[in-house]
């Protein structure tokens, strides 16, 4: 196609990696690692904060959850990356020795946790109030009716937005290049500069992003199909968690 030279990926970039293609695959591996680890952090924290925001008779916990969401979703991700990389280790010396990979995972995970918390809150509040009352009627504690009644249904409701967040966290991992994580954007920038084949490098990276996002979409679609409750329809937006 035009003056494109795809054989550049078979050239030797020097160093430990034999070809640019293998370097690209290695960079893709770093991107996947950052994304998956960040997603785990985001799901754990987002679930916890989402539940906290719907607890009955716990106004201070609700305020804490609301503050968490407002803080982490209103600060740009790139700013949060730099804060975790430059500021947090100085404020907490115990974190000074952490590798940049861990700090980026925390930054991306905390950022996404605010979005997941909001989605889970909406999912819980979309459930009919009878869900909560049914749990209370059989003698469940607050923890138990969340665990066995509310959350299993709320997670089913929010699988579509969770799919979007899973795809977004993969794409957002591209900002890790700012703190020298050897992921795909950093590969494209360095390899493009070395070979003067910027178009080829960025096209290859784009294709890998698209393929990865499509795989995530298909996996989540399969999960949604498996956990769907036949005939279940959300009844209004009454506070199932309130």
Residue indicated by tokens 């990356």: 81
CB 55 within 8 A of CB 62: yes
pLDDT at residue 49, rounded to an integer: 96
The rounded mean pLDDT for the chain is: 87
Both tokens of 216, joined, read 């995530």
Q: Using 50, 70 and 90 to split pLDDT, how confident is the model at 236?
A: very low
CA distance 112 to 127: 23
In the predicted model, is pLDDT for residue 134 greater than 80? no
Question: What is 114-133 written as a DSSP string?
Answer: HHHHHHHHHHHHHS-HHHHH
CB 240 within 8 A of CB 169: no
For 105-123, write each residue's pLDDT tens digit. 999 999 999 999 999 999 9
CB burial of residue 120 (10 Å; 0-12, 13-18, 19+)? buried
In the predicted model, is pLDDT for residue 237 greater than 50? no
pLDDT at residue 130, rounded to an integer: 74
Q: In 165-197, which positions are buried (b, 16+ CB within 10 angstroms) versus exposed (e)?
A: bbbebbebbbbbbbbebbbbbbbbebbbeebeb
CB 174 within 8 A of CB 184: yes
CB atoms within 10 A of CB 160: 11
Phi (first) and psi of residue 68, to 5 degrees: -60, -50
pLDDT at residue 234, rounded to an integer: 47
CA distance 204 to 220: 25
Mean pLDDT of 41-53: 95
- Three-state SS for 1? coil
Q: Which range scores top for mean pLDDT: 135-144, 181-190, 227-236?
A: 181-190
Q: Using 50, 70 and 90 to split pLDDT, how confident is the model at 146?
A: confident
Q: Residue length, the chain?
A: 242
CA distance 170 to 162: 12
pLDDT at residue 203, rounded to an integer: 93
CA distance 107 to 103: 6
Distances (CA, A) of 165 to 42, 119, 162: 10, 10, 5
In the predicted model, is pLDDT for residue 242 greater than 80? no
């Amino acid at each position: 196609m035009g003056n494109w030279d795809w054989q550049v990926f078979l050239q030797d970039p020097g160093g430990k990696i034999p070809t640019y293609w293998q370097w690209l695959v290695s960079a893709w591996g770093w991107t996947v690692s950052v994304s998956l680890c960040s997603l785990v952090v985001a799901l754990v924290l987002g679930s916890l904060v989402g539940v906290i925001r719907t607890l009955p008779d716990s106004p201070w916990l609700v305020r804490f959850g609301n503050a968490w969401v407002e803080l982490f979703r209103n600060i740009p991700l790139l700013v949060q990356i730099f804060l975790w990389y430059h500021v947090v280790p100085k404020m907490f010396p115990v974190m000074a020795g952490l590798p940049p990979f861990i700090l980026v995972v925390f930054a991306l995970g905390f950022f996404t946790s605010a979005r997941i918390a909001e989605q889970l809150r909406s999912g819980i509040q979309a459930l009919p109030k009878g869900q909560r009352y049914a749990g209370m009627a059989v003698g469940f504690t607050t923890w138990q009716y969340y665990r066995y009644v509310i959350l299993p249904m709320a997670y089913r409701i929010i699988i579509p937005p969770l799919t979007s967040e899973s795809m977004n966290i993969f794409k957002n991992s591209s900002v890790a290049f700012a703190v020298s994580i050897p992921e795909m954007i950093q590969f494209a920038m360095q390899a493009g500069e070395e070979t003067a084949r910027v178009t080829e490098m960025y096209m290859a990276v784009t294709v890998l992003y698209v393929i990865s996002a499509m795989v995530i979409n298909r996996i989540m679609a399969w999960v949604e199909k498996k956990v769907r409750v036949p005939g279940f329809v959300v009844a209004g937006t009454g506070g199932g968690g309130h």
